[in-house]
Each structure stands twice: as C-alpha cells, then as structure tokens.
Amino acid sequence: MTDDRSPERVASQSRYDQARYIENGEYEPLLSEKDLTRIEIERVADDGGGAGQKTGHADVEETAENGTANVNATSGGSPLPDDLTRDSLELPELSEPELARHYTRLSQMTYGIDSGPYPLGSCTMKYNPKFTEDVAALPSAAVHPDRPDESIQGTLEVLYRLQDYLARIGGMDAVTLQPPAGAAGEFVGIRVATAYHQHNGEGHRDEVIVPESAHGTNFASAALGGYDVVSLPSDDEGRVDLEALEAALSDNTAALMLTNPNTLGLFERDIETIAAMVHDAGGLLYYDGANLNALLGRARPGDMGFDVMHYNVHKTFATPHGGGGPGAGPVGVVEELAPFLPAPTVRERNGSSRSDEQVYERVDPDRTIGNVHGFHGNWLVLLKTFAYIARLGDGGLADASASAVLNANYLAEQIDYDIPYGPFHHEFVASAGEQDAADVAKRMLDYGVHPPTTKWPEIVPEALMTEPTEVESKATLDRLAAAFNAVKDEADETLKSAPERTTARRIDQTSAARTPRLSWQALSEDS
Amino acid sequence: MNGLHATGSPYAPHTEADRKAMLEAVDADTVEDLFDIPAEVRFDDHFGIDARTEREARQLVRSTLDRNDDIVELLGRGHYSYYVPSLVDHLADRSEFLTSYTQYQPEASQGFLQALFEYQSLLVELTGLEIANCSIYDAATALGEAATLSDRVRETTGHRVLVPQFLREERRSTLENYIAGTDLTVETYPVDDGNVDLSGLEAALDREAVMVYAENPTVRGTIEENLATIGSLTDANDALFALGTDPIALSLLQRPADVGVDVVVGDASVLGLPTSYGMGLGLFATRERYLRQTPGRLVGASEDATDRRAFTLTLQTREQHIRRERATSNICTNQAWVALRTAMHAAVLGPSGMVDLAKRGVERAEGLAERLDDLIGVHAPVHDRRHFREFVVHVDQPARAVAGDIERHGFAVHVVGDHEIQVCVAGVSDERLDRFVAIFEEVVR
C-alpha cells in the first residue's frame, strides 16, 4: 500500500530559521537550547506585549501562554557570508526508528531474486551469493583512488588478478576494468575501434553494423561514438544473414557488434565466416557479453575471432543488480588493441621492493583513449566479481553454463507457448500468440513469479524472452511453467485486469508520461 | 548438495536425480548435447582458475586486501568518505532492494520506485531545479552527459564547451570521450586564485559556446564566489551553465537554480558510500524544459487501476531500449542502489543534520588551514578564498618529500604541485587532525 502523504515538512522562513505557529502555550521547541542563537516572536492575536526578540524557550512559553504567535528560531550562525549560502532547506525530518520502518516497508514492496524466480531474458538474474557482500564490506577494501600505488598493493593485486581471470574466460589478451556498466563497456569498445582505425590512417570508417535483434545499447553506444548505425536483418532461422552482411560491409565499416548466442538464444554457427568477412573488410568484431553465461567454459569470444568484448559482471558473475545498478562492464581486447585501452590498467612491476611479494602498478597504455570514468569504475562490484570467480573456479563456471542451458531447455519443454526459434542455449523466446505479451507478464505476477522480458526481440511476435539461469531448481522451473500455462488458458479480461495480488494494481503509464510528476514537490503543486 | 563443491557451481541446485529427469524431459543424453557450438570454436580446456570453498574465497580476498597500508586518508579531490550511519548498510542490504532488477514491472517494484522518487525529490530540493534522474555512473560521466545534452538543446550553432583550468584530468578526459561523436570541442578558461577568472571567462565566451562548466566547491576546495555572474554571462550568450557539486555542499552553499544554473552534475555518493576507490553516483538535475532530452531513468508518480498513488519508470521513449541510436544516452544499468543509500543517508541526517555537516566542512577545513599556516615554512590556504572540506597548502620544501614523510607517519595527502599539497578533512576525526598537525610540524621542521 502506497502512502499518500507527502513527507512532513519543516517550514523555513529565513536563514536556517525554523518557524512554528503556536497557540495558547502549545509550544514544542524547534531547536535545542544549545543550538539556539535567537528567537523572535511575532504576535498574531493576543492581549498585546511579548513580541520581539527573545533568548530562550522559556521566554517563548511565557509569552505564548496568553495568545497566538509565530515563533522564529534561529540556529547557530553560518560560517559563511550570506551571499555564498542558500536561504533554506526543506526536507523531511524523521527519527531513525521511523526511517527503519519506512525503508523496511519499501523493501517489502519490492520483488528481488531472493523473493522468487526472475527469468528476465537477456538480464541473467542469478542468485547473488551473500559472502561477496561481506568481502565488499572489509575495512581494507575502503581506499581512496589517489593513494600511491605502493600503499594499495592489495587493491591493485585484486584488480590485476581479476583482469587476468576475465582475459582467460574471454580468450582475450588485455582487459580494462574501468567501464562502470555494460553500455559503458560497449562505448569503450567503440572508442577503442575509433582510435585503432585512426592510428592506421583509416579514420574515414564511420559505420557500425548492428543486427536488428541486438540490444538497444549497441545502437546507442555506436551513435554516442559518432557512428552511423547500419541495421542488419536476420535470416529465416534467426541468425545473421550472411548475404545481408556482405552487402552491409564496406570500406566504411568500423565494426560489427554481435551477441553470441544472440538474443534468441541461438549460437551464430557461422561465426568464423562472419569474423573473416568483417576482418577482410578491415573492420573489427565486437562481442556484447550479455549472453556470456551460456558459453562459460564451452567457447570463448577470443577463439571465435572477436577482437573486443565487454563482460556484464553483474549478469555473468552474479553481483547484485541493486534495482538497476551499479554493475560493471570490463572490456577485453586482443593484443593489437591493448595500447588503446582506457587509462590506467594494472600490471606487474618488475624488480620488487618487497622481494617476497609481487608488486603491482597502474600504468597508462601507450595510445590510451583516456578515461570513461572519473576514477577506476565500480570497485565494489569488481571486488565481488573477483570473489565470485575465485569461489567457482573452472568447474563452477562450466557448471553454471551447463545448468543454465539445461534449465532453459527444460523450462521451454514444459510450457505450452510456441517457441519459433532453436536450438537455443541459456534463453529462449516464446510467442504469446493471440495474447498481448505485456498482459501475460502482468498476470504472471499474480502467480508469485516475475515474468520474462516482453515484446523484444521484435522478430518474435508478442515475445516472451525467458532466461531462468542456472540457479533455479527443477521444482521452481515446474512452478514457473505452471504459471506460464495457467495464463495461456486464461480469458482476455482476466489478463487485462491483472495484476490483482501485487502492491499496486495495473499502473497508468499514459498518465505518468503525459503529466510528468517526478518529485514530491511536483505532486504537492498538483494538490 | 552444496557441501564442498569441487567441480560444480555451488549456486546451481540440481541433484543428480533432477539432472537426469530434466535431461530425459528434453530428450538429451548429456548436457553437452544441448550446446549448438561448432567444433572449431569449442573451448575444451580449462581457464586455470581454482575453485575454493566460501571460507577459502573470503580468506583469499581478505589476505590480498591486507596488503593495503592502513593509513588515515586526508584525501578528497572528488572522492569523499564521510561516516555512513549503520542504518544505511542494514536497510540498503535488505535483499529485496539488493537483489531486485530495473523496475520494468512497477506493480512488483513499488518500494524501490518510491525510494528512487524520494532520491529525485531530494535533488530537486537541493538544486532548486525541477527534475533529477535516477543516476548516471559518476561525476565525470554526468559531466559528459551534460555536454551532449547541451549539444542537443542548443539554439546557437556553436560547438565550444568551456571548462575551468583547474579540473581533474580524468574528468576532462571522460568529457572528451563523451563528446567524441559530436562536433563539440573542449576549451579551458582561466581561474584566478582558485575561483573563476571572470574577465577571462568573458573573453572566452561568445555565441559559439554551448556550455560553461564550473564547480562549487572547486577541485582545490575553494568556494566559488562568482556563480551569479557566471550565470548571467552564460545566459547572455545562450549557453548552458553546468555546475559540478554534491549534496553536502548544496545543503549550505548557493542554490544552483538561484544563480542561473541549467544542469547540476557531480557525485551524490558523498552521502551513502564509504571510501570505495572512486566508485560514485553521478547526480544529474536540470530544468523542466529539457525533460525530453534528459538522459537516464526517471521515476514518475501515477495512479493504479484503483486510483491509488503508484510509481513507475516513465518517459522511457528517451532511452536506448526504445529509441536505440536516437536515444538521449546509451546508459542502461545505472547506480540505483547507491542512489537508495544516498537518500537513506540524507534522511538519517535530516535537513539540519545536512546543514551542520556542511558547516563543519567549512569550519574544520579553515581551522586546520589556520593551524598549518602557523608552522614555519608553510602557507595555508594557498588561495585567499573561503574553503569547503579541503584546501591547498604551500610548503617551502619539495611537496613530494613532505607527503612521503607524512605518509610514513600514517597519513595520506595529495601532492598537487612542486610545493603544493592538498588536504581534506571530510570523515577525519578531530583527534586525528590534532595528530596530523603535530606530525606536519615535525616533518617540515
């Protein structure tokens, strides 16, 4: 139940003053006596007298006993002159116990992976191990980025080893950990491609090819990098259309961005041909790591001919999504592109001052593109990633992809909706057919599960893009399938009026967009 | 099932019997049969990464991080570490918050959406601007987004983005990357004793300028005294005025909307996050007239089918998953959970607590500067300005040597010039500052 009250506000009249209207002695001090520098009483209606400047609460109480007044209390003076400061700050004032309840209540109105299955296609909502939270809370993890290398060897070693882990997993030669999200990783890849082409005197390349079924970020990242985006249609089987690719490639091609398996869960079986075609045209092949969970230990982008890739560590390596972020999007590249990576990366220093331990240092790659973050990216996320990979090791990572693919295939087998494309790996796209996929999703909420991603990719009509990940048990998958199948048999009006069992009933999106109310302040203006 | 997992993932729950039944259901002999990967690109090797028990993995990280020296950081310059109240960790770590995803199904995400709506409201009050988004990654990327916004909304034909001479190199570099795909160029305008050099800015400003960026407080800790004038100058040239700041500074210093600021960027995680090697929270607030051009996610209020108030992500047609190459930004995953923590920290402090924290930032910085200034061979602050949180100190001896000596006594400071160091008081106790002064005196003696 959403609370309709806007937060209690404290009125402010002048510089950090707090004012209160009092009536016949009903006076609760606004500021403690020690903070008080001045109290002014402005009589509104009384028997006269008592107004003016006072020094303490007692004066006010005495005055207020026989009348009604506005009281202005001023706290300690500002250390700054008036022209450098603001006049007031109006924010809710709540006690700590009230806040604890407020946020507990809000958390209870939020569905997380710990609440139940979360089979959002392309999002890889895995269980987030709890020990990595403890690791991130270690006091020794809290260092300032401007500390000299010598005094933060622990942090640099974690980063160095994570770079190494990711390079091995992706089959890449060098890795930067700076990008703070997957899309930021894509942008780094695009900027690296630009720098590489310019360095080779090929700065005229101004096109990036992106399959129609790709993530929206691919298009947006390429555009942010200044490229014209060439959209590539799929063939009848849902994969890259080689003829269309041939037609799209030219002397202007900077890169082709691919996800493999693609958003339909299909492996691009012609990947070596595709790589050869792109390279022959002088372009680079970019790997979008959103679906890497399907390949762990089974295939590596570097072995397929990809030149540059990003890793969505919050997906593949199970760092919490936290309501939409933070994540991290490290980027791996082949040797030839390593000099262009963002600054700095971490390397081992030869000749160590502590003979028994390896010493690490931050260095700027020779022809670096510079920075894509003010410091070193989302360190706490990277730290959790390192801990997760160190926990799973080779066997655990390979099992993650095996179980994820088994789960997707098993779930698909149990549900009655049509799945037009296959063989898929870690995710599949079902079609809601005559039903509206968005309504199907709303109704699934009533069965206590989170629905799949809907209406995308557009190649499947009324798409239900489903990715159970490896963490769901057979029993949970059966429950999930039952929810799908129950909804499939339900009447249209049932779907249209769903959800019924959530905190809020169906929310009016049109009104939200037509009359944007983006703050409490905007709401109070309305009322 | 989940004892010591020597091989499998400890978080994949299948028993052998389950696995068998599932394989049977999908008509496969082994899981390998389900992979449709050509032999040529199969990886049939190992990464060479050892599996560990949970205890071993924790121990590995702890022993590695133990290599960090345990010293007191008097460091700032864009990354600050105030004390974060316990409530923040305990409530933000509730797993519903921590393990939820972007609120694409708002009916099941009302709690997080309301928290983000409260965060947006906090920024609206602090900045005086009408809208704030749910977050950009950090201060540098928010600055980059402000520049591309100015490119989209400009009414002039210009291409010049003006930034102050004193600016973190990484921030400028990030900005340069963000505008690489536009025809914008970044140029520097001069500063005068730690504040904007108004005549220099005026000389640099013309109709070709699309955005002027300033910071308050500046990277060297000075409080900017000319904001209103900068606002008028940019306005007279139809350029956007972007200001870099943070929620604690905003609690006390001039309200951006009152001095003609069009976009506020900066790092909001000064509230909510402890020191975290530069991880931050990009704040982004702007005027309502730029709503459709704003990057990032926005939470709006609406009603549900029973006419009760409800919250939802809104105006998503601005975003990459709908608008693709014509989106206002490529941002998707943001820093939502940090925004939640920031809103929590602000709520614990309350308005008077925030103002007090800001005031202490002025008083303690200026107090420490006075004490250092009393030492022989030391002049502080270098700039004859009011200071917030941090300040630059001139030392007669080589700054690097002084900083090195200080560090051997357990304190880290910035070296910002041959004879200049910079110190920051945020999050450092009075006792430690006393000890720092004593050590400083000894070092420069």
Which of A45-59, A238-252, A429-443, B54-68 has the weakest average pLDDT? Answer: A45-59
Query: Would you place residue A8 in the very low, low, confident or very high pLDDT band (cuts 50, 70, 90)?
Result: very low
Confidence band, pLDDT 50/70/90 cuts, at residue B46: very high
Per-residue pLDDT at A14: 33
Residue A55 has pLDDT above 60, yes or no: no
* DSSP code at position B244: E
Average pLDDT of span B185-199: 98
Nearest alpha-carbon partner for B49 in A274, A168, A222, A519: A168
Q: Which amino acid is at A330?
A: P
d(CA B51, CA B65): 19
Put simply, the answer to whether B274 touches A142 (Cβ < 8 Å) is yes
Chain centre distance of CA A31: 41
Of B298, B334, B348, the CB nearest to A324: B334
User: Rounded CA gap, A411 and A466, in Å?
Assistant: 9
Q: Per the CB < 8 Å rule, is A406 touching B31?
A: yes
* A145 preceded by a cis bond (ω within 30 of 0): no
Categorize the per-residue pLDDT at B156 as very low, low, confident or very high, splitting at 50, 70 and 90: low
Residue B140 contacts A where some CB pair is shorter than 8 Å: yes
| Residues in B touching A221 (Cβ below 8 Å) | 330
Q: Does B289 touch chain A (CB under 8 A)?
A: no
Residue B29 touches chain A, beta carbons under 8 Å: no
Q: What is the mean pLDDT of residues B111-121?
A: 98
Long-range contact pairs involving A58-63 (C-beta distance under 8 Å, separation at least 24):
A60/A22, A60/A27, A60/A29, A61/A25, A61/A27
Report the pLDDT value the prediction gives residue A354, as an integer from 0 to 100: 55
Q: How confident is the model at residue B37 (pLDDT cuts 50, 70, 90)?
A: very high
Q: Which residues of B touch A100 (CB under 8 A)?
A: 87, 90-91
- Please report the sign of the dihedral spanned by the C-alpha atoms of residue A187, residue A192, residue A198, residue A204: negative
Nearest CA to A416 out of A355, A367, A484, A466 is that of: A484
Q: Chain A residue closest to B22 (CA)?
A: A410
pLDDT at position B237 is 93
Long-range contacts: B353-356, Cβ < 8 Å, 24+?
B354/A89, B354/A91, B354/B247, B354/B248, B354/B251, B355/A16, B355/A89, B355/B251, B355/B252
pLDDT of residue A525: 79
pLDDT tens for A67-103 read 566 666 655 578 999 999 999 999 999 999 999 999 9
Measuring CA to CA, how many Å separate A332 from each of A75, A109, A155, B106? 55, 38, 20, 35
* Closest by Cα among A192, A147, A33 to B412: A147
Torsion angles phi and psi, residue B143, rounded to 5: -65, -45
- Judge whether residue A13 has pLDDT over 70: no
Domain coordinates in residue numbering, chain A: 131-391, 393-498
- Residue A376 forms contact with B (CB below 8 Å): yes
pLDDT reported for residue A31? 60
Residues 6+ apart with CB under 8 A from A318: A126, A127, A128, A129, A132, A388, B11
Question: What tens digit of pLDDT does each residue of A120-150 get?
Answer: 999 999 999 999 999 999 999 999 999 999 9
Count H helices, E strands: chain B? 14, 17
Torsion angle of alpha carbons B265, B270, B272, B275, nearest 10°?
Answer: 130
What integer is the mean pLDDT of B76-99?
97
On chain A, the residues whose CB falls within 8 A of the CB of B60 are 387, 390
Would you state the torsion angle of the CA atoms of residues B200, B206, B212, B215, taken in this order, to the nearest 10 degrees?
20
Backbone angles phi, psi at A38, to 5 degrees: -160, 140
- Mutation target among B32, B45, B61, B196 for the A interface, most CBs of A within 10 A: B61
* CB proximity B118 to A under 8 Å: yes
The model's confidence at residue B2, banded by pLDDT at 50, 70 and 90, is: very low
CA gap A451, B423 in Å, rounded: 51
Q: Which of A17-21, A220-224, B125-129, B255-259 bottoms out in mean pLDDT, i.e. has the lowest?
A: A17-21
Residues A65 and A58: beta-carbon distance below 8 Å: no
The answer to whether B303 contacts chain A (CB < 8 Å) is yes
Mean of pLDDT over chain B: 96
**A35 has a pLDDT exceeding 60:** no
Residues 341..380 of B with a Cβ closer than 8 Å to A: which?
Answer: 344, 346-348, 350-352, 354-355, 359, 362-363, 366
* Per-residue CA distances from B63 to A354, B49, B56, B66 (Å): 16, 18, 10, 5
Give the per-residue pLDDT at A78: 82
CA distance linking residue A97 with residue A79, whole number of Å: 32
Q: Are strands A228-232 and B420-424 parallel, antiparallel or unpaired?
A: unpaired
User: What does the alpha-carbon distance between residue A305 and residue B303 come to, in Å, rounded to a whole number?
Assistant: 51
What does the block give as tokens for A451? 């629905």
Residue B444 phi, psi (nearest 5): -90, 0
State how far the Cα of B235 lies from the Cα of B264, in Å rounded to an integer. Answer: 16
The Cβ of residue B251 has, within 10 Å, a number of other Cβ atoms equal to 26
DSSP-derived letter for residue A156 is H
As a dihedral over the C-alpha atoms of residue A362, residue A364, residue A368, residue A371, rounded to 10 degrees, the angle is 50
Q: Do B102 and A324 touch (CB under 8 A)?
A: yes
A505 contacts B305? CB cut-off 8 A: yes
Whole-number Å distance between alpha carbons of B214 and B253: 14
Where along chain B do its domains lie? 2-60, 72-82+351-444, 86-345
Task: Report CA-CA distances (Å) from B349 to A96, A124, B345, B352.
Answer: 9, 36, 6, 7
Does A491 contact B at CB distance below 8 Å?
Answer: no
Question: What burial class does residue A357 get, using C-beta atoms within 10 Å of its C-beta: 0-12 exposed, 13-18 middle, 19+ buried?
Answer: exposed
CA distances from A354 to A226, B65, B408 (A): 47, 16, 16
| Cβ <8 Å between A518 and B350 | no
Q: What is the reported pLDDT for A15?
A: 36
For position A32, what pLDDT does the model report?
60
Instruction: Please count the other Cβ atoms lying within 10 Å of the Cβ belonging to residue B25.
Output: 16
Query: Encoding tokens for residue B11?
Result: 């978080």
**Contacts B315 to A, Cβ<8 Å:** 513, 516
Q: How far is A71 from chain B (nearest CA, A)?
A: 18
Instruction: Note whether A376 contacts B14, CB cutoff 8 Å.
Output: no
pLDDT score at B375 = 97
State the pLDDT at residue A24. Answer: 57
pLDDT for residue A77: 72
- Residues A506 and B445: their CA atoms lie apart, in Å, by 71
A24 vs B315: CA distance, rounded Å: 50
Asked if residues B399 and B407 have their Cβ atoms less than 8 Å apart, the reply is no
- In tens, the pLDDT along B322-379 reads 999 999 999 999 999 999 999 999 999 999 999 999 999 999 999 999 999 999 999 9
Question: Among all residues of chain A, which has the CA nearest to that of B304?
Answer: A507
**Residue B266: closest CA among chain A residues belongs to which residue?**
A374
Task: Please give the pLDDT value at position A72.
Answer: 64
- Asked if residues A208 and A222 have their Cβ atoms less than 8 Å apart, the reply is yes
The CATH fold assigned to B86-345 is Aspartate Aminotransferase; domain 2 (3.40.640)
pLDDT digits (tens, 9 = 90+) for B224-275: 999 999 999 999 999 999 999 999 999 999 999 999 999 999 999 999 999 9
Q: Which two tokens stand for residue B46?
A: 């190992």
Are B242 and B114 in contact by the 8 Å Cβ rule? The answer is no
- CB contact under 8 Å between B174 and A373, yes or no, is yes
Cis peptide bond upstream of A344, omega within 30 = yes
| A6-18 b/e (C-beta count within 10 Å ≥ 16 → b) | ebeebebbeebbb
Q: Using an 8 Å Cβ cutoff, are B134 and B298 in contact?
A: yes
Residues of A in contact with B276 (CB under 8 A): 141-142, 379-380
Domain B72-82+351-444, CATH class in plain words: alpha beta
Q: Give domain A393-498's CATH superfamily.
A: Aspartate Aminotransferase, domain 1 (3.90.1150.10)
Position B227 scores a pLDDT of: 98
Confidence of residue A3 (pLDDT cuts 50, 70, 90): very low
| Fold classification of A131-391 (topology level) | Aspartate Aminotransferase; domain 2 (3.40.640)
Burial (CB count within 10 angstroms: exposed 0-12, middle 13-18, buried 19+), residue B381: buried
Q: Cβ A140–B137 below 8 Å, yes or no? A: no
**CA nearest neighbour of B397 among B441, B339, B344:** B441
Query: What single string gives the DSSP state of each residue in A109-154?
Result: T---TTTS---BTTT------SHHHHHHT-GGG---TTS-GGGBHH
B114/A229 CB distance under 8 A: no
Q: How far is CA B118 from CA A101, A233, B113, in A?
A: 15, 43, 9
- Using CB atoms and an 8 Å cut-off, which of residues 89-118 of chain A contact chain B? 89-94, 96, 99-100, 102-115, 118
| Residue B97 touches partner A, C-beta closer than 8 Å | yes
Q: Quick one: pLDDT at residue A37? A: 53
Residues in A closer than 8 angstroms to B122, CB to CB, are 91
Q: Could you write out the DSSP letters of every residue in A305-346?
A: T-SEEE--HHHHT----TTT------EEE-GGGGGGSPSPEE
For chains A and B, what is the number of CB pairs under 8 angstroms? 645
Residue B373 has what pLDDT? 98
Residue A506, both tokens? 């169906």
For residue B154, what pLDDT band results from cuts at 50, 70 and 90? confident
Please indicate whether, in this complex, the C-beta atoms of A223 and B5 are within 8 angstroms of each other.
no
Query: A234: which strand partners?
Result: A240
> What is the percent of chain A with per-residue pLDDT over 70, rounded to a whole number?
84
Do A521 and B121 count as a contact with CB atoms less than 8 A apart?
yes
Q: Is A131 on the interface with B (CB under 8 A)?
A: yes
Say whether residue A152 is in contact with chain B using an 8 A CB cutoff. Answer: yes
Beta carbons within 10 angstroms of residue A37's beta carbon: 12
Q: Tokens at residue B1, please?
A: 């099932």
Q: Write the CB contacts of A266 (distance below 8 Å, at least 6 apart in sequence).
A: A237, A238, A239, A421, A422, A423, A424, A425, B36
Give me chain A's average pLDDT, please: 90
DSSP summary character for residue B389 = S
A91, A521 Cβ separation under 8 angstroms: no
Decide if A423 touches B, using CB distance below 8 A. Answer: yes
- Predicted pLDDT of residue B69: 97
Q: In this prediction, what percent of chain B has a pLDDT beyond 90?
A: 96
What pLDDT sits at residue A355? 59
Residue from the list B225, B277, B332 with its beta carbon closest to the beta carbon of A183: B332
Mutate to test the interface with B, among A80, A207, A428, A439 (most CBs of B within 10 A): A80
Whether B72-82+351-444 shares its CATH topology with B86-345 is answered no
Identify the residue with better confidence: A155 or A50. Answer: A155
Give the nearest chain A residue to B48 (CA atoms).
A394
The pLDDT assigned to B263 comes to 98
A410 and B130: CB-CB below 8 Å?
A: no
Sequence-ordered list of residues with C-beta below 8 angstroms from that of B189, at least 6 positions apart, any chain: B162, B163, B164, B165, B196, B197, B200, B201, B204, B212
Shortest distance, CA B437 to any CA of chain A (angstroms): 20
Query: Residue A231 — very low, low, confident or very high, per pLDDT cuts 50/70/90?
Result: very high
Distance from CA of B302 to the nearest CA of A (A): 5
Cβ-based neighbours of B231, under 8 Å, separated by 6 or more: B241, B259, B260, B261
Cβ neighbours of B43 in A, within 8 Å: 171, 297-300, 303
Nearest to A120 by CA among A461, A478, A451, A490: A451
| Nearest residue of chain B to residue A523 (CA atoms) | B301
Best residue in B4, B42, B43 to probe A by mutation, most A CBs within 10 Å? B43
| CA angle centred on A234, ends A333 and B322, rounded to 5° | 75
